A = this chain, B = another copy of it.
Amino acid sequence: MLNVAIIGPGLVGGALIEQLAAHLQSPRFAGLPIAVVGLINSKKMAVSEAPFAASDLGDWKSRILGSAAPDADLAQFADRLAKLASPSVVVDCTSSDAVAELYPQWLAKGLHIATPNKKAFSNDLSLFRRIQELSGSPQGPSVYHEATVGAGLPVLSTLSDLVRTGDRIVKIEGIFSGTLSYLFNNFSAPGATQKFSECVAVAKASGYTEPDPRDDLNGMDVARKVAILGRVAGYGLGTDTLAIENIVPEALRGVASADEFMSRLPEFDDHFAQLNGEALATGSVLRYVGCVDGASAQGSVKLTRYPLDHPFASLKGSDNIIAFTTERFPNPLIVQGAGAGAAVTAFGIFSDLIKICERFGAGTK
């Protein structure tokens, strides 16, 4: 039996609970011994010796984390999980730096970790290396974080397989931000007529951007994903060592509010129109990509041109795409699809849980 405990049941954690609850009741789930035994949000927590019933998970807000539940205490939560008889996995569905800092303590207690939280894998290299050391043995504990890049798309598992079987990475290149995918798929296409500021305004109104769109356009989210890919490939990358092209116009970086940024962005429509026109004139489109170069072991984040028959040029909606060019795949191995959203992110975590369950779920600690 593998015990699962979820931290931060918000959008993604809630979707994961739904998927797990559905499957506790499905015959397809038979044979995969997973039990949900812990839940904690910012206020309340619950850890149970007996697995939560699917019906309780379906209404966890009142039936598991209701007013009678003990107050949240992350240290106690981890201690109680570590004392259970079967192996336990902590699923960190927060995006918190502070929670990520706790991973080494949890691993030292023998707890497995599965998470879409990018912080532990893209902040200080020293934290990442401690986590690697503590999870490097075949006997466990293990750390899985497929959903930190491309949500549920098989990105990190594929990269890990390539590297561990001895392929040589030539280049990893991709569109890793659903927001920037959407923006440039719409702005930079033959016949497209929307101005750049209009595209950003539509994306913001549709909820595709961060509250301040500069948090997308500055490239930091993409840089985190590039750092993660580079680290899984075996290179000591950090967001501080990457060449990052921040496409927020310099004059607007210091502007105080998102509203003021949005109202002044049209001043720079001519700038983006010129870049776009130059690309289209050569039969290309603009895409905002992250790149890891195997030869130099360096990474970058930048606005780049791709010819119209390139797979990046025909991307639709807010899809992600990633191309692995290697010794064995001189024509790249490509994965594409939805790289953001609660259901597909939860799918990525659930896939990690299956792997942990298959490796460790049959045994005792």
A1-44 interface with B by 8 A CB criterion: 19, 22-23, 26, 28-29, 31-33
Query: Inside 8 A of A363's CB, which chain B residues have their CB?
Result: 363
A337 B332 Cβ-Cβ under 8 A = yes
Known A-B contacts A28-B163, A154-B154, A154-B157; the reply to A314 vs B319 at CB < 8 A is no
Indicate if the CB atoms of B343 and A328 lie closer than 8 Å.
yes
Q: Is the CB of A166 within 8 A of B22?
A: yes
Q: Is A298 located at the chain interface by the 8 A CB criterion?
A: no
A67 shortest CB reach to chain B, Å: 31
Residue A354 at the chain B interface, CB threshold 8 Å? yes
- Across-interface contacts of A167 in B (CB, < 8 A): 347
Is A28 within 8 A of B164, CB to CB? yes
CA distance A334 to B154 in the complex (A): 10
Contact of A311 among B32, B157, B314, B362 (CB under 8 A): B314
Contacts of A23 in B (CB 8 A): 165-166
Which residue, of A309, A314, A333, A362, has the highest number of chain B Cβ atoms within 10 A?
A333
A138-B334 CB under 8 A given contacts A26-B166, A165-B347? no
User: Chain B CB within 10 Å — which of A31, A137, A165 has the most?
Assistant: A165
Evaluate whether A331 and B317 lie within 8 angstroms (CB atoms) in the complex, with A166-B26, A359-B358 already known. yes
Interface residues on A, range: 35 or more
| A328 with B152: CB separation less than 8 A | yes
8 Å CB contacts to B: which residues of A226-241? 234
Are A334 and B336 also in contact (CB < 8 A) when A138-B358, A139-B362, A166-B23 are?
yes
Please judge, given known A-B contacts A157-B154, A163-B28, whether A361 and B331 are in contact too, CB under 8 Å.
no
Q: With A138-B358, A161-B351, A165-B354 in contact, do A335 and B334 touch (Cβ < 8 Å)?
A: yes
Q: Cβ of A163: which chain B residues have Cβ within 8 Å of it?
A: 28
In the complex, what's the smallest C-beta–C-beta distance from A155 to chain B, in angstroms? 9
Closest B residue to A349 by CB, please name it.
B165
What chain B residues lie within 8 Å of A29 (beta carbons)?
A: 164, 166
Cβ of A230 to closest chain B Cβ, rounded Å: 16
Report Cα–Cα, A157/B354, bound state, in Å: 12
Taking a contact as CB atoms under 8 Å apart, the answer to whether B332 and A164 are in contact is no
CB distance from A196 to the nearest CB of B (A): 22
Q: Which residues of A contact B (CB under 8 A)?
A: 19, 22-23, 26, 28-29, 31-33, 136-139, 152-154, 157-158, 161-167, 234, 309, 311, 314, 316-317, 319, 328-329, 331-338, 343-344, 347, 350-351, 354-355, 357-359, 361-363
